[in-house]
Structure 1
Amino acid sequence: MLLAQIYAREALQQWEPRITVEAVAATPLPDAASLRIAVNYRIRGTHHRRSLVYPFYLTPSA
């Protein structure tokens, strides 16, 4: 889970200049084939706080 959090934070910081990332959390879902990635962020310029929860589905290796 820690790598998913790190990669999500780094990607957002690099590719989304409109926000400041405040927190990222990755939680495994019960089906063991997906993660829930929660991101708390602040919109630059307005300082409005927002959050986003994204289901990330893991696919088996080929």
Structure 2
Amino acid sequence: MLRNYHSSMKQATCELVPELDFFGLAGWGKHVISMVGFKTPYPQESIEQCVAPAHYPQEVKE
């Protein structure tokens, strides 16, 4: 998905650790993003606070 997002990410890679709920790294160029997830519902209020101000079209936010 990252590779298709922008031409600067054509060499993007992703590593996941299957033993954990979710832990992974995504990287391209000098950038690395750490990801972590848990098998539990995320509070709706927290999602709204993070997603509402994002500079993306409404259909992406939904």
* TM-score bucket (shorter structure): 0.3 to 0.5
TM-score by length of 1: 0.44
Higher relative contact order (CA 8 A, sep 6+): 1
What TM-score does the superposition give when structure 2 sets the normalisation length? 0.44
Identify, as 1 or 2, the structure richer in strand.
1
Which has the larger share of helix?
A: 2
Bigger radius of gyration: 2
